[in-house]
Amino acid sequence: MSTIIYLIRHSDTTDELGIRNTNETSQIINEKEILSIKGEKDSNKLSKNKELENIDVLWSSSYVRAKQTAKYIASINNLQLNIDERLNERKLGNLEEIAEFMKDKKTRDVSEVQLIFPKFKTSDGESLEETKRRMLDFIIEILEKYKEKRIAVVSHGGSIKFLLLNWCILNNSKKLEYKGRMLNITSPCLLKLTFSDKKLIDLIQVI
């Protein structure tokens, strides 16, 4: 039998304007970002997808928006929510250093730029390669622990993209492809990864 991992990107978040707590770093602010009303509705709808019926175990990053997305899956499947920081979004770090690196790039999407420059990171941030490594370490661990189970994992756009580079190619449009099928890592998205032991044998986008 196979082991199924459902890899989920959290739902849409709320845009915030105004004065922030000046004692909070950009990293802390990022970790506390919450779902929008649309994001809550989308998360509820996502949890009712037939693919997410009879999940055996549920994992999420420690970020608020990921846990808010996962809570609906937990409720429908009557599961405890497990947290692992290896599922967190890659740490951007110093925003001034990011801005300096991005100023001559054709895109404002930092994740896309990191796909092209996998070793780039700020002085206190993470590179694509580092994020990819910790994400894969988590996947290998749960494949060993939950063999032949159905596992839901809620994470983030950058981290998911970087993990998928273990099995996907990056096409000319800087999009991920698996066996000729292009993947669109939106908020939310639902990917079904089928493993035989620790070998990926199929990857399809459900949502």
Length in residues, the chain: 207
Residue 151's beta-bridge partner residues? 5, 57
Q: What is the mean pLDDT of residues 39-56?
A: 98
Q: What is the pLDDT of residue 55?
A: 98
* Distance, CA of 86 to CA of 172 (rounded, Å): 29
Q: Is the pLDDT of residue 44 over 90?
A: yes
Between residues 50 and 21, the one the model is more confident about: 50
Judge whether residue 20 has pLDDT over 60: no
More confident residue, 28 or 48: 48
3-state secondary structure of 74: helix
Q: Once rounded to an integer, what is the mean pLDDT over residues 37-54?
A: 98
Q: What is the pTM assigned to this prediction?
A: 0.94
pLDDT of residue 17: 67
Q: Is the pLDDT of residue 194 over 60?
A: yes
Q: Nearest CA to 10 among 61, 54, 65, 82?
A: 65
pLDDT at 154: 98
Average pLDDT score over residue span 142-151: 98
* 116 Cβ contact partners less than 8 Å away, ≥ 6 residues apart: 174
pLDDT digits (tens, 9 = 90+) for 83-93: 999 999 999 99
Bridge partners (DSSP) of residue 195 are 3, 200
pLDDT for 23 equals: 63
Chain mean pLDDT for the chain: 94
pLDDT tens per residue, range 48-76: 999 999 999 999 999 999 999 999 999 99
